[in-house]
């Protein structure tokens, strides 16, 4: 599994990590956090894309 996290404010990364840890367990999925100026929906602060493969 791979997640890409888009944040409009990288200061929100710690809060995102708290939520992330509620939904995923070790071994943690591979992820990348990217700071962006804006997202598609006005006021949206975080967007996540996920890619998974069944092995």
Confidence of residue 55 (pLDDT cuts 50, 70, 90): confident
pLDDT average, residue stretch 26-40: 95
Computed on alpha carbons and rounded to an integer, the radius of gyration of the chain in Å comes to 12
Residue 55, token pair as written in the block: 């092995």
Residue 46: pLDDT over 90: yes
> How far is Cα of residue 22 from the mean position of the Cα atoms in its chain?
13
Count Cβ neighbours within 10 Å for each residue of 11-23 and write b for 16 or more, e otherwise: eeeeebeeebeee
> How far is Cα of residue 18 from the mean position of the Cα atoms in its chain?
11
pLDDT average, residue stretch 26-47: 96
pLDDT over 90 for what percent of the chain? Answer: 96
């Amino acid at each position: 599994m791979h997640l890409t996290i888009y944040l409009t404010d990288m200061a929100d990364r710690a809060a995102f990590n708290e939520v992330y840890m509620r939904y995923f367990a070790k071994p943690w999925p591979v992820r990348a956090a990217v700071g962006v100026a804006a997202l598609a929906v006005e006021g949206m602060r975080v967007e996540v894309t996920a890619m998974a493969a069944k092995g």
